[in-house]
Structure 1
């Protein structure tokens, strides 16, 4: 106890993890090296005056009475039961919307250690704190709410309700999770509920009307009670998160043909950026410390020599944001992780701004593309920001990690990724540094498809992700990213542990002629493919652009920090986007060689078309589609399909297998396919029913 007290006295000037608690230990089944998962909590504190924490929005407004800012966060450690079998490599995984993460069997068989910990601090939906820490499975972090003179700060928040109908009240959601902010008052005269009759992909809004304040309420109602029998919501912040989501009831019910946009005064602004510092501190503790301030041992102390953080989609965006904030430098000025692997993520998540909604997915009026998105200092010409990069802060301290990033088609067409490649002016390829590798897996849906060699899968339309977006027209895109992910896993470990360079970057470029304007003419898209109307290529329907929003004078457009006061924000400019050029089948060019793209069974789209609802006829948010080739020439001609049929291409089953073999050997020879995956793909093609 005396030793612990002494440690606490000597270390209080540093922000760090001060205590860990292990709540449960669970064996992990399968694999050559037995592993176990420890689930627990870490408690930490920040010095708001430390320059390393100054980037955090509202950090000074989250202080306790002693001047420190405190947090509590979940973590899981998956480690070999016998630490003598540990490889020395640790993956620090970023949870996606609070989801549980355990390193896979391939990594466990290598003896790797997995660490996952909370970062998303909005305490809503999947990131809500569980009542039982031992049995809870999600990840979360508890941070303070901003206060001035002891009172919660208030401010404007925007929420939208789309494709909802009927007399029942509707929740304020973002990506299916609650908008995490309670109204400061239930007085609807202090809010504005507006309807829109149409919104285009490129930001043209047709306003319907403002609903009178006495015709709606922050309340719950159903078909039986109606508006007259509504029950006001609970907006007491002491009851969070149980009183989420916030519900809105409209007299006469919701019209499915309208989008409802609500701007209201909220309270309870989480100091979201503390979540990034908590992720930093947890990673540093498990990598470097032997015990916490109270003598609780680090269960993997001394076993980690190399580490990489990684995140997919939303958590990949956080990975980029975390690096931009300078969080890869810990309180002792050490590099936290030597590597970083942001996956299918071309922006920075809105997790360091007051009233931020980290669950947002870049639909209209959502943050995420502000500030530099690129790795080399480069000016933001359209938005008038001087040359900066994601590496700007860590370059000053020598703590930038080696980065491998990979993307696919859906990130181009709906997640606004190509700004990272060509900037806001979109007229020059921004060079990569030697410490970054970029791989584009062409013609894939978000996260990649299920793979396999099935010519005619079930014609089941896909659901469009996002805020209740709707259903797509085309069946699911099977183009996988699994094989390239397997390559990157090995490449990252070898790069950090052995100094072996990964394969060269491969992605569409302006100078290479594979990155072009989003028109069918520039893309070389084959017109007349059954089911693809020419109207999808219209600017109001096709590629989601980056908008230059005016968020107001209290918002820092370089750092994407501060407070947004203009809601909804005026659009000052629509930033031009680029897309990959395609071949005669409509499949994308310029990416890494992949077997299904080079021995195709159809057209694999990084986009889909919304079938019904408010966004009908527009790109179906960030999901891809698949349109099979005709089997025979006669079938092709009967449908007017410009693409060659399977028989015209391959002749027979053996001919198709030969094409797969050639594609697999080509990808392997260039370093973009592992030998085991090459052999498995060839065997799967041989066993398939294609042209049998």
Structure 2
């Protein structure tokens, strides 16, 4: 093993999180829609073959439960007939085909902007969002179950990115509105750009917000802003799927005269329908708890009614590492 790879793995394990505690899980159902052999049926030591399971998880949250108190605006989220907040997230599991060969350990790979990372970092495999190669087989030879799930509610669908469909906050059923700010920093000549990162949606403008949007540009962060007249830029809103699902639209800023590479463009407008995005932490908490305790209807990781996952470790890089830090700081690593 090369020294740099050993160093990277040490850093990775330092970033791991062990889930402990006894908060009540509220994952109500697993929905597995596809199973297929991993790595063309390759065997990994005594553990044997692995398979990929893909689908969704369905969550239900009690807005009054103390374990959910840290979720901002949870009580403003739309509720079902029982008074609970419900939402879904994508799920992908990599597990031994013979679950009795699982070691009891699970690695939860916090996806980075919807992208899977663990196999590249731990197994030296090509990685990707539709993994097909086991690399050196490290995790698999040691009987790990690898878990991925959606937690980022800003993502646009595509390229096997893992999505979470977060609940929307409202004021007793009336839309909540407020000003939002997006900064665009073009690196090359262009006339039209996503106002958020690539493959990310942005908050939906109100009709008045679209008409009254303001745009400025400046070279340096500390420079004075220079206004661009409203008739010299356009804001394009492309709906993706159902608004009720919490899916953000693709919003693009067009400057027909062209963006100046290296300059900062600041777009401000009135938006509506904020996401209750703090459920990203409860989603991961409740998924891991359900897998450890054998809960959730149609749980796919049970043998004779008992869970094969007994301990779980979290792994994240960059954005997903920050997710883990905030999750632990806020106490959501209790299950």
- TM-score grouping bracket, smaller chain normalisation: 0.7 to 0.9
Return the alpha-carbon distance in structure 2 between the equivalents of residues 242 and 284 of structure 1: 26
Paired residues for 1:345-424 under 5 Å: none
Look up the match of 1:23: 33
Paired residues for 1:447-466 under 5 Å: none
* Corresponding residue to 1:70 among 82, 86, 93: 86
Return the alpha-carbon distance in structure 2 between the equivalents of residues 145 and 84 of structure 1: 41
Pair member with larger Rg: 1
Return the alpha-carbon distance in structure 1 between the equivalents of residues 209 and 181 of structure 2: 16
Look up the match of 1:218: 235
Paired residues for 1:176-575 under 5 Å: 176-185=198-207, 190-199=212-221, 205-219=222-236, 233-234=237-238, 238=242, 244-256=249-261, 258-289=263-294, 291-293=295-297, 296-300=298-302, 301-330=306-335
Paired residues of 1:292 and 1:298 also in contact (CA < 8 A):
no
Tell me if 1:149 matches 2:172. yes
* Corresponding residue to 2:76 among 52, 55, 61: 61
DSSP-derived class of the 2:139 partner? helix
Tell me if 1:80 matches 2:96. yes
Return the alpha-carbon distance in structure 2 between the equivalents of residues 306 and 285 of structure 1: 12
Distance 1:257 1:91, change over 3 A: closer
Paired residues of 2:51 and 2:97 also in contact (CA < 8 A):
yes
Distance 1:179 1:242, change over 3 A: closer
Paired residues of 1:71 and 1:278 also in contact (CA < 8 A):
no
* Deviation, structure 1 residue 318: 0.5
Look up the match of 2:141: 109
Higher strand share: 2
Aligned length: 286
Return the alpha-carbon distance in structure 2 between the equivalents of residues 237 and 152 of structure 1: 19
Distance 1:215 1:46, change over 3 A: same
Return the alpha-carbon distance in structure 1 between the equivalents of residues 85 and 163 of structure 2: 17
Bigger drift between 101-110 and 41-50 goes to 101-110
* Deviation, structure 1 residue 97: 0.8
DSSP-derived class of the 2:219 partner? strand
Return the alpha-carbon distance in structure 1 between the equivalents of residues 176 and 283 of structure 2: 23
Tell me if 1:168 matches 2:191. yes
* Deviation, structure 1 residue 164: 5.4
TM norm structure 2 = 0.77
Paired residues for 1:638-677 under 5 Å: none
Paired residues of 1:89 and 1:113 also in contact (CA < 8 A):
yes
Look up the match of 1:43: 58
Look up the match of 1:95: 111
Paired residues of 2:201 and 2:248 also in contact (CA < 8 A):
no
Return the alpha-carbon distance in structure 2 between the equivalents of residues 178 and 17 of structure 1: 26
* Deviation, structure 1 residue 250: 2.7
Paired residues of 1:182 and 1:237 also in contact (CA < 8 A):
no
Gaps of 5+ in 2: 1-23, 124-136
DSSP-derived class of the 1:246 partner? strand
Return the alpha-carbon distance in structure 2 between the equivalents of residues 167 and 153 of structure 1: 33
Distance 1:43 1:189, change over 3 A: closer
* Deviation, structure 1 residue 189: 5.5
Tell me the alpha carbon deviations over residues 116-174 of structure 1, each in whole angstroms, 9 at most, x when there is no partner. Answer: 2221122x23xx3x6xxxxx732111121111121221112111222356573322122
* Deviation, structure 1 residue 235: 6.5
Return the alpha-carbon distance in structure 2 between the equivalents of residues 24 and 235 of structure 1: 27
Tell me the alpha carbon deviations over residues 333-352 of structure 1, each in whole angstroms, 9 at most, x when there is no partner. Answer: xxxxxxxxxxxxxxxxxxxx
